[in-house]
């Protein structure tokens, strides 16, 4: 991945100047690929425009501009289908922040439009580009952990309480995306429970249990009503265990535990080992994600978190939501 887009590289318009939109704009500006800012809040758009030296444009102006190759949308998911379809039909490559859509049906429609117009469609599952997760994925694929047994992912914090989506849809896409990548298959059973504390129908907390055909079990716990921030993924294999903790400094974000369960006279016995920090090269995941999108636009390569991957994540979320609805 090249760090600078260059004069002739793809140019991107960022649509939406909320927290994630501002971060996208910053990265594309630093890469040299930012072409325009779009938002209905013209004052907020103007501030970002002045900061990065690019114009404020309407969505229609972006779609009509042949010099803009792609659109990066950081919007409420309810807008992804309507605006994403328009961008793809105008010949723009499309990046959408997670979740990709409100339903699997909407996601499938976006996929079909992207395929029909031969445009790249990429979903913002940012942890797929986190250096520590990429090393963890390599360890799993290399067999360092042995056959996977279980995974536990927690994403907890206080605040940013939503009303358009519940904690499951707001927080769990990251965890589902990582787990599906590590296990390499979709679950055959999904169950979920939620806690409704600030709204009668919008879950503030959710617990999801996944069972896979290979026998792997996974748990996801998400909440925006937690006293402190926690972002941790524990992967347990027959040979070793690994912990990806994004709250730790880079030298300890990924730690390997070569704990083993041994048979001693017909009784299982846990043989403990010292933790082994795994070397990870520091790097901003969003920067890597933006560079990957630009590479895919330029070369036609398939994004790691493409529309198909986004659809797989949505299938799990929909099944979890159905379980929540059943109480």
The per-residue pLDDT for range 255-296, each reduced to its tens digit, is 999 987 777 888 888 888 899 999 999 999 999 999 999 999
**Torsion-angle region of residue 129: left (phi > 0), alpha (psi -120 to 50) or beta?**
alpha
What's the CA gap between 265 and 220, in Å, rounded? 35
Element counts in the chain: helices (H) and strands (E): 9, 15
CB-count exposure of residue 227 (10 Å: 0-12, 13-18, 19+): exposed
pLDDT surpassing 80 at residue 73: yes
- Helices 285-299 & 19-31 angle (0-180, nearest 10): 60
The residues of the chain that CATH labels 3.40.50.720 are 12-126
CATH number (3.40.50.1010, 3.60.40.10, 3.30.360.10, 3.30.1360.30) of 128-285+315-325 reads 3.30.360.10
The residues of the chain that CATH labels 3.30.360.10 are 128-285+315-325
pLDDT surpassing 60 at residue 65: yes
93-116, pLDDT tens digit by residue?
A: 999 999 999 999 999 999 999 999
Could you tell me if 48 and 22 are in contact, meaning their C-beta atoms sit under 8 angstroms apart?
yes
pTM, rounded to two decimals: 0.94
pLDDT at 5: 54
pLDDT at 85: 98
Domain 12-126 in this protein, CATH class: alpha beta
221-235, pLDDT tens digit by residue?
A: 999 999 999 999 999
């Amino acid at each position: 991945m090249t760090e600078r887009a260059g004069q002739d590289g793809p140019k991107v318009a960022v649509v939406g100047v909320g927290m994630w939109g501002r971060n996208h704009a910053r990265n594309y500006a630093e890469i040299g690929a930012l072409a325009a800012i779009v938002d209905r809040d013209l004052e907020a758009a103007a501030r970002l425009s002045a900061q990065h030296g690019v114009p404020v444009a309407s969505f229609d102006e972006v779609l009509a501009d042949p010099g803009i190759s792609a659109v990066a949308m950081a919007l409420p998911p309810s807008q992804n289908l309507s605006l994403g379809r328009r961008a793809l039909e105008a010949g723009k490559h499309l990046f959408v922040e997670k979740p990709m859509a409100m339903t699997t049906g909407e996601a499938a429609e976006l996929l079909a439009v992207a395929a029909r117009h031969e445009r790249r469609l990429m979903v913002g599952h940012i942890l797929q580009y986190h250096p520590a997760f990429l090393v963890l994925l390599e360890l799993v694929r290399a067999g360092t952990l042995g056959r996977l047994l279980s995974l536990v992912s927690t994403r907890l914090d206080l605040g940013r309480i939503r009303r358009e989506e519940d904690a499951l849809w707001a927080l769990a896409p990251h965890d589902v995306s990582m787990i599906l990548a590590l296990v390499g298959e979709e679950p055959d059973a999904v169950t979920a429970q939620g806690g409704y504390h600030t709204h009668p129908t919008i879950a503030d907390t959710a617990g999801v249990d996944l069972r896979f055909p290979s026998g792997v079990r996974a748990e996801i716990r998400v909440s925006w009503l937690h006293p402190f921030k926690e972002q941790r993924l524990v992967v347990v294999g027959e040979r070793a265990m690994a912990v990806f903790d994004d709250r730790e400094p880079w030298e300890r974000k990924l730690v390997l535990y070569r704990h083993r369960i041994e048979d001693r006279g017909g009784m299982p016995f846990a043989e403990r080992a010292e933790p082994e920090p795994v070397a990870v090269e520091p790097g901003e995941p969003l920067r890597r994600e933006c560079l990957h999108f630009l590479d895919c636009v330029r070369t036609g390569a398939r994004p790691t978190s493409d529309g198909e991957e986004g659809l797989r994540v949505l299938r799990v979320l929909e099944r979890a939501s159905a379980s929540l609805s059943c109480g």
